[in-house]
């Protein structure tokens, strides 16, 4: 395998109800529309699907939809929790193939590391001492593989006052571990409901918009963006480089799977 193709869906914020809306968008139909868009694109099929947190909106009933939507695609589905997930429930609900929650997974020349950055009762994130040690071990024992590190919370400022109050609290400790290694090629997160691309010491930094509502970039106060749902495609090359693109799903679904309109 010379190229490893991934598709990342993030922050679907599902409910048990199939028609429940969040910020004007019916979250399950929006996720299904994003997946359908990906399935009709040249990026399909990927080798791996990534779902990077806030799988549900504080409603454990939403995980059954994750199983139904992603469970029969015929490929591994790697998941991490976000601040609206319950990590223990998520491990239980997504505890069987094709789902993997946390740890790391190897695919050819690449290792994908899945970090739990949840801080119970907080919208902010934090990596525990144990998780930082697991990250250090996963990078040290990667056996020549390139590494893609995923977490829910942003480890760099997003230049957005309200969002930067709910990022990764101990980002400095995270970077201390990352900087001890030379095999990390990219860091990928959700949480911020907007697209971001940066570079830090040759490491690509990537954030991906939600499959439902987005947040206005660089905003001082919380504000919902009118941009549509989105997902990210990644092509990880065997030389450690990567190609990536955010795909905006221009048709957004509001209220039911049959009505399509713009929403605030
Ligand atoms: Fe979210």
State the architecture of 3-248 in CATH terms.
Answer: 4-Layer Sandwich (3.60)
CB 182 within 8 A of CB 145: no
Provide the pLDDT for residue 202.
94
- pLDDT tens for the 264 residues of the chain, in order: 589 999 999 999 999 999 999 999 999 999 999 999 999 999 999 999 999 999 999 999 999 999 999 999 999 999 999 999 999 999 999 999 999 999 999 999 999 999 999 999 999 999 999 999 999 999 999 999 999 999 999 999 999 999 999 999 999 999 999 999 999 999 999 999 999 999 999 999 999 999 999 999 999 999 999 999 999 999 999 999 999 999 999 864 544 333 232 222
Distance from residue 191's CA to the centre of ligand 1 (Å): 5
DSSP class of 182:
S
Query: Domain locations in the chain?
Result: 3-248
Phi, psi dihedrals of residue 63, rounded to the nearest 5° = -65, -30
In this prediction the pTM is 0.93
Provide the pLDDT for residue 131.
98
Distance from residue 34's CA to the centre of ligand 1 (Å): 16
Distance from residue 130's CA to the centre of ligand 1 (Å): 24
Provide the pLDDT for residue 2.
85
For residue 175, count CB atoms less than 10 angstroms from its CB and return exposed for 0-12, middle for 13-18, buried for 19 or more.
Answer: middle
Distance from residue 11's CA to the centre of ligand 1 (Å): 4
DSSP class of 256:
S
Site of tokens 């995980």: 63
Distance from residue 218's CA to the centre of ligand 1 (Å): 17
DSSP class of 187:
E
Distance from residue 167's CA to the centre of ligand 1 (Å): 12
Provide the pLDDT for residue 43.
95
Taking phi first (over 0 means left), then psi (-120 to 50 degrees means alpha), and beta for anything else, what does residue 58 get?
left
Angle at 252 between CA 246 and CA 256, to 5 degrees: 140
**Rounded-to-integer distance, Cα 210 and Cα 231, Å:** 7
Distance from residue 210's CA to the centre of ligand 1 (Å): 7
**Rounded-to-integer distance, Cα 155 and Cα 171, Å:** 5
Distance from residue 53's CA to the centre of ligand 1 (Å): 7
CB 242 within 8 A of CB 185: yes
Extract the tokens encoding 255: 């209220």
Distance from residue 44's CA to the centre of ligand 1 (Å): 25
Site of tokens 């029969």: 72
């Amino acid at each position: 395998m010379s190229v490893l193709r991934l598709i990342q869906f993030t922050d679907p914020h599902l409910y048990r109800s199939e028609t429940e809306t969040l910020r004007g968008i019916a979250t399950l139909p929006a996720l299904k529309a994003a997946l359908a868009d990906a399935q009709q694109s040249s990026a399909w099929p990927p080798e791996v699907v990534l779902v990077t947190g806030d799988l549900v909106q504080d409603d454990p009933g939403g995980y059954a939809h994750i199983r139904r939507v992603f469970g029969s695609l015929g490929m591994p589905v790697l998941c991490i929790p976000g601040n609206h997930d319950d990590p223990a429930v998520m491990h239980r609900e997504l505890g069987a193939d094709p789902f993997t929650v946390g740890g790391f997974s190897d695919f050819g020349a690449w290792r994908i590391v899945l970090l739990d950055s949840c801080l119970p009762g907080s919208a902010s994130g934090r990596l525990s001492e144990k998780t930082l040690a697991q990250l250090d071990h996963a990078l040290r024992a990667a056996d020549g593989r390139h590494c893609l590190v995923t977490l829910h919370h942003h480890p760099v400022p997003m230049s957005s006052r309200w969002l930067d109050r709910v990022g990764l609290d101990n980002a400095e400790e995270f970077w201390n571990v990352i900087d001890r290694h030379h095999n990390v090629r990219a860091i990928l997160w959700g949480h911020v409901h907007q697209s971001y691309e940066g570079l830090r010491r040759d490491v690509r930094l990537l954030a991906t918009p939600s499959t439902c509502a987005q947040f206005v970039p660089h905003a001082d106060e919380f504000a919902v963006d009118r941009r549509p749902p989105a997902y990210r495609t990644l092509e990880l090359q065997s030389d450690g480089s990567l190609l990536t693109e955010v795909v905006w799903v221009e048709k957004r679904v509001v209220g039911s799977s049959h009505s399509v309109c713009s929403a605030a």
